[in-house]
Structure 1
Amino acid sequence: MKNKDELKMNNQEDFDLSHESDFDDETLNRLKELGQLNDGYNSGIQTISIIGEIEGHIEAGSPKKSTKYEHIIPMIIDVEEKDEIKGVLLILNTMGGDVEAGLAISELISGMSKPCVTLVLGGSHSIGVPLAVSGSYSFIVPTATMMIHPIRTTGLVIGVLQSFLYFQKMQERITEFVVEHSNVDKELFNKIMLNTDELVNDMGSVLVGEQAVEIGLIDAVGSLSDARNKLFELIKEYEHEKCKSKEDKNSTKKSKGSSKNNKKEDNGGK
């Protein structure tokens, strides 16, 4: 006779197999890679999480948790293409990672027509900073941290003279993006980034929760519920503007049609 643990295990296996057959190969792969389906259709919100190291052109080491940018980019494009999705909730707990991949995702998010609210949990370090400010509105939980430092090659400040100009230009692009998409002053941001009094044998600063808000980097300290409420508010505004734009467009069409008819009448119906 089977004991309770064996029965429980068999039931769990049956449950897993029966549910697995409900998904196609593409959906199963997406579930395995992302840990969730992220269809976002019931609430109208697409949740995207960026966890661990941001993986770009080179694969991250196997012991590390990573988020692949080739998975995130199609999800963001889906948001723009699907009418069922009204907005994005971007959850961040990242150590940073591939600079170009992180900046590419940030640019894509900032260029969306639909609203996006970002929420920093745990931390959003290095290239995670542009990601945190890329949305329409940003939140950070009280205990989360953000490490701001210059671009590095192998964990330390730039040390290769031949690469200096390239890294300098890349750093300027990141700084400009952060300043443009937040309320932080450029001079203050550079000062915090080049601080030599806080990190051992390195440059940079660590901001905790409220500190990121005080300098204008993040909009507000808040929780998941705060982020969701703000997103629903922005979606409402977006939908209102969308309807208004449609009405104005229809009104313009009617006006053009009316003036065209009047012109015909003036010309004797020709």
Structure 2
Amino acid sequence: MYNTRNQKTNEVPANEQIKNPTVENIQQLGQNSTLQEESNIFCMTIIGQVEGHMVLPPQNKTTKYEHIIPQLVAAEQNSKVEGILIILNTVGGDVEAGLAIAEMIATMSKPTVTIVLGGGHSIGVPIAVSSDYSIIAETATMTIHPIRLNGLVIGVPQTFEYLDKMQERVVKFVMEHSNITEEKFKELMFKTGELTRDIGTTVIGPDAVSYGLIDKVGGLSDATKQLNERIEEYRKAKNGGMVQ
């Protein structure tokens, strides 16, 4: 019998196969490249559930904040990137992780535009308003509700005080980065009877604009147009009022 163990083959063992960078980025980061060198716009997607300090089950579609933050730093430092487009379709997630992402976007020196497609719920709301200009699709929704905890709670008064302070941080951030009033936002947050077994409000696209939460109802073309206009202004300011 012919011994195949010594037979030479061109096949490469699975553990030695060269990984395709594009496939690797899609699997790990949900996008085809970390930075688009051929474009002056960096597109970032925040989808599924925002994963924070706790690792979520593998069947959950998540956006890991430890992936998002380094990409934002890279986009801020890359001279070829002149604008950042953030696409949101998230159910929410970890509050502190979401606020960290929102603060990063809000403090970038380059023009930023967010677009809510499908949904920008819970902690997705501060992320949606953190950019220079926000857009929401006509059929997209945003759920506004108080901060909640899952699992065992030890020390109820202390936990309530902690949640109340964290909630004020979220409210303050939304107030500073949108045109909605604090009274209206809290009214939507504590509304009863609309959500099953919960308090809060689901706001549809046009209503989010009428409340002053989001700047405009629109789509991808509106977002890119708005971002390109702001990039032109960014260039003028960078060149001292002269466009090269």
Secondary structure, aligned partner of 2:90: strand
Counterpart of 2:28 (choices 20, 33, 36) is: 33
Within 1, Cα distance between the matches of 2:193 and 2:18?
A: 57
Q: How far is the alpha carbon of 1:224 from its aligned partner?
A: 0.4
Does residue 183 (structure 1) correspond to residue 182 (structure 2)? The answer is no
Secondary structure, aligned partner of 1:76: helix
Does residue 126 (structure 1) correspond to residue 114 (structure 2)? The answer is no
Does residue 208 (structure 1) correspond to residue 211 (structure 2)? The answer is no
Within 1, Cα distance between the matches of 2:205 and 2:23?
A: 37
Q: Which has the higher contact order (CA 8 A, sep 6+)?
A: 2
Q: Which amino acid in structure 2 is aligned with residue 34 of structure 1?
A: L
Aligned residues: 225
Kept in 1, the 8 Å contact 2:125–2:144? The answer is: yes
Secondary structure, aligned partner of 1:244: coil
Q: How far is the alpha carbon of 1:115 from its aligned partner?
A: 0.6
Within 1, Cα distance between the matches of 2:26 and 2:240?
A: 38
Within 2, Cα distance between the matches of 1:170 and 1:80?
A: 28
Secondary structure, aligned partner of 2:226: helix
Q: How far is the alpha carbon of 1:38 from its aligned partner?
A: 3.6
Within 1, Cα distance between the matches of 2:157 and 2:223?
A: 43
More helix by share: 1
Kept in 1, the 8 Å contact 2:25–2:34? The answer is: no
RMSD value over aligned CA atoms?
2.2
Within 2, Cα distance between the matches of 1:239 and 1:197?
A: 49
Cross-structure match for 1:87: 83
Q: How far is the alpha carbon of 1:43 from its aligned partner?
A: 2.1
Within 1, Cα distance between the matches of 2:148 and 2:44?
A: 27
Which sits farther off after the overlay, 198-207 or 49-58? 198-207
Q: How far is the alpha carbon of 1:61 from its aligned partner?
A: 1.4
Within 1, Cα distance between the matches of 2:224 and 2:241?
A: 25
Deviations 1:174-223 (A, max 9, x none): 00000100000011101110101211221100000100000000000000
Secondary structure, aligned partner of 2:239: helix
Distance change (3 Å), C-alpha of 1:239 and 1:162: same
Q: Larger Cα Rg: Structure 1 or Structure 2?
A: 1
Within 2, Cα distance between the matches of 1:98 and 1:22?
A: 31
Q: How many percent identity over aligned positions?
A: 51
Unaligned runs of 5+ in 1: 1-16, 247-270
Q: TM-score, normalised by structure 2?
A: 0.87
